[in-house]
Amino acid sequence: DRDLKGKRLRIADLEADREQQAADHPLRPQVNAVHACWKAATRKRRPLHFSDVFSIAAAVNKMGFDTCLRAVVGLRFDPYTRRQRNGQTKRYDDLETAFKTFGRVSEYAGKAPADWKPDPAKIASIANVSEARVREWLGLR
């Protein structure tokens, strides 16, 4: 019984450290903006989990903020769906679906409409940040 309690405490400590690391992540403002755009696009209300912070931050760091926004648009425009045996269609448009691997990010970014361009003013209003900051993230001046 004591061993189990000790292991539970250790797990809680490790999770707390990860949550703190996620809160202090240098790309956190961009991750929050991607999450806010995802919420607006999919009309979901799920809060940002610390594991999502790391996967989105890795994608932003490697592929760019623009590609991550394009992946969110692609996820909204053409989500993965599966027909179930009971006749219902299950729609997979959560963050993990698009940001689990870099391959999935590029796959969903490719599903966005070809003529789609990010609108810095709209992104800024959705993410509640300044338009200048969004332009900086997008590499626009």
Neighbouring residues of 84: CB distance < 8 A, sequence distance ≥ 6 = 90
Neighbouring residues of 124: CB distance < 8 A, sequence distance ≥ 6 = 130, 131, 133, 134
Within 13 A of 132's CA, how many CA atoms are on the CB side? Answer: 0
pLDDT in tens, 1-46: 788 888 888 888 777 777 777 787 888 899 999 999 999 999 988 8
| Cα–Cα distance measured from residue 11 to residue 13, given in angstroms and rounded to the nearest whole number | 5
Side chain identity at residue 89, one-letter code: T
This prediction's pTM: 0.83
Residue whose tokens read 């061993």? 3
